Amino acid sequence: MLRLYDTRRRAIHPVRAPGRAVTMYVCGVTPYDTTHLGHARTFLTFDLLARILEATGHPVRYVQNVTDIDESILQRAARDNVGWRELGKREERAYLADMKRLRWRRPDVICHATQELPAMFTLVRALERRGAAYTLPRGVYFPVAAQPRYGELSGLSAAAMKRILVGQDDAKLEDPGRRDPRDFALWRFVDDGPTWPSPWGRGRPGWHLECSSMIRHHLGDQIDIHGGGADLIYPHHENEIAQSETASRKRPFSRTWAHVGAMRLGGKKMSKSDGNMVFVRDALNVTDPRALRLYLLDRHYRKPFDHDEASLDRARLRAAALGDALGRGRSGAVGRAGPAREALSALEDDLNVVRALKIVEWAAPRAEAAERAELRTVARIVGVI
RNA sequence: GGCGUCGUCGCCAAGUGGCAAGGCAAGGGUCUGCAAAACCCUCAUCGCGGGUUCGAUUCCCGCCGACGCCUCCA
């Protein structure tokens, strides 16, 4: 059985879903820019996670969102003088094409914020019934005080959060009448740009609301695995927990929280604001998809990963060598013992790809036909042959 | 301030309570008209100080240091 590190409990626990599919939700992209290696690493990590579960007989129901309405899309659309919907659709297509080239195990559902407004309203109504929403002139807010465990995921104290919020530019944009400076918008009343009618007035949804309501809509009140980049822990995932657990009165909202470490360039996290990104598209110009998968997955997913051209280049040789050693033959069921079993066990041990690949690379040139077939199975789970 | 990752050969990076993977670079060699490629060989007492132990790089405590995140962000 797969064992995974859970950010909330800060320990490794087995992923159990007896008699049903494992439910997994991963925070996706806001499509206004091209897919970079950080996106690819994160999504390939959950691709691998799903493949491991499925290969070991555990069906998976995987949902991922596309934030197709967001201030950043509106800004980019204005800058480039294109319609925000047009921009979003174009960038989403590009992103899906990039991921397809990486042989991404696509989510079973890819949902869009603009298509889920009814689900969002339902969630806000549920929060209202719990007394966990209040309306101010500039928006409907969630009172953080309604959630006694707020801060559990990130480990931040209330004082620490407030200290952080004081220095933020966005804090000035929030409604000054909030009961607590940590309270966040469920729905914003805005006049400019695209807006939607809601029971509270025209406006746009708060971005934390999107994920909570989509999860509830597509997967239910509680899920097995919630994933995303480590940069989303606070405030995004913390706020999701607050909304969802308050609305459903069920906890935990997600049994396991899996966060992928940052992809860095020059010692700094790749990010849109810093512009220090390496795009998947460009990487695929100098290497091939299997090699890029090998490169991105051959570092433990929770660790930060410094992009290194030399390593990327080497990955091509490694993938080619594995291809030569394992050939194109059939996959074989992994037996109870032997290198393929050891490699598969490594994958099940909090996705230890490094150990698994090392075993496969060592065993592949030495293996007989039957064993090679087993090794192919593991190599194909990782997607490197 | 908090959360987190990490300090292992010149560089990247695994790993283990008992001789420290691998890759790149470097040096030597085989081969070659010279070279390239290929192949072979060589190359580390694991940040500092305590503790536990027969024995710690590996476990515990403290320290020093690096970096990231906490702002939209995967």
CA-based nearest residue to A291, from A313, A264, A307: A313
Segment A21-74, tens digit of pLDDT: 999 999 999 998 889 999 999 999 999 999 999 999 999 999 999 999 988 899
DSSP states of A56-79: TT--EEEEEEE--S-HHHHHHHHH
Verify if strand B has an atom below 7 Å from the CB of A115: no
Give the mean model confidence (pLDDT) for residues A215-237.
93
Confidence (pLDDT) at A157: 79
pLDDT grade for A110, boundaries at 50, 70 and 90: very high
> Which nucleotides along chain B are within 7 A of a protein C-beta?
1-6, 12-15, 21, 23-24, 67-74
What domains lie within chain A, and their CATH numbers? 3-260 (3.40.50.620), 264-382 (no CATH)
Q: Which nucleotide is nearest to A317 (CA to C1')?
A: B23
Distance A190 CA to B21 C1' (A): 58
Confidence (pLDDT) at A213: 95
Chain A window 276-315: residues with CB closer than 7 Å to nucleic chain B are 299-300, 302-304, 306, 308, 310-311, 314
Verify if strand B has an atom below 7 Å from the CB of A260: yes
Distance A368 CA to B74 C1' (A): 40
Confidence (pLDDT) at A363: 87
Residues 6+ apart with CB under 8 A from A206: A139, A184, A185, A186, A187, A188
Segment A133-155, tens digit of pLDDT: 999 998 999 999 888 888 889 88
What CA–CA distance (Å, rounded) separates A378 from A385?
Answer: 10
Verify if strand B has an atom below 7 Å from the CB of A234: yes
Distance A317 CA to B38 C1' (A): 15
What CA–CA distance (Å, rounded) separates A281 from A322?
Answer: 23
Confidence (pLDDT) at A171: 57
Confidence (pLDDT) at A321: 87
Mean pLDDT score across all residues of chain A: 90
Q: What is the ipTM of this complex?
A: 0.85
